[in-house]
Amino acid sequence: MLDNLPRGTICIEDIEMGMSRHLRKEVTDQDIEMFAQISTDRNPVHLDDDYAQDTIFEGRIAHGMLTAGLISAVIGEQLPGHGTVYMGQTLKFLAPVRPGDVVYAEVKVVEIDIAKRRVTLDCHCSVDGKKVLIGEAKVLAPSRKFD
């Protein structure tokens, strides 16, 4: 048995179909600037009000991958939680996220392979009830048993 699993981690043996977890986060100007610094994506549609005003978005937007990172946070912190290894992720961006938007990120278990410790999660992010991102994640879940 593994005794060092963090509290809140859900092991493959305990994951059930339909299980879900979520978080809410306001995306701030500081979040966008910090993401630009760490990713080196300094596209002016994210950082320059004047430039962004003349785009199809008519204003600044957050990086799509910043929004996708909230899905990663739910997976890595809640379901399955610490010790989870990403195997793959599909993403479709449906609408922009703007500074000040509160993003609701949710993952839901749609497939489980206990023998291989693999879990497939339906993922989405929404703002004011409107989906802005959809996708699917495949992860390797932690186990209480040694391999």
Q: What is the 3-state secondary structure (H, E, C) of 62-89?
A: CCHHHHHHHHHHHHHHCCCCCCCEEEEE
Q: Is 56 among the domain residues?
A: yes
| The token pair that represents 112 in the structure block | 């489980």
pLDDT of 2 reads: 45
How much is the average pLDDT of 98-102?
Answer: 98
Res. 7: pLDDT tops 80:
no
Share of the chain above pLDDT 70, in %: 94
Give pLDDT tens digits for 33-69.
Answer: 999 999 999 999 999 999 999 999 999 999 999 999 9
How much is the average pLDDT of 114-134?
Answer: 98
pTM: 0.92
Structural domain containing residue 42? 12-140
Residue with tokens 């949710």: 106
How much is the average pLDDT of 138-144?
Answer: 95
List the one residue out of 101, 121, 91, 137 whose CA is nearest residue 27. 101
Res. 5: pLDDT tops 70:
no
The amino acid present at 72, given as its one-letter code, is S
Please count the structural domains in the chain.
Answer: 1
List the one residue out of 67, 71, 55 whose CA is nearest residue 20. 71
Q: Is 74 among the domain residues?
A: yes
Higher pLDDT, 67 or 7: 67
Do the strands 20-26 and 118-127 form a parallel or antiparallel pair, or are they unpaired? unpaired
Q: Is 4 among the domain residues?
A: no
Q: Is 6 among the domain residues?
A: no
| Spatial separation of the C-alpha atoms in residues 49 and 55, rounded to whole Å | 10
Report the CATH number that the domain containing residue 91 is assigned in CATH: 3.10.129.10
pLDDT of 1 reads: 39
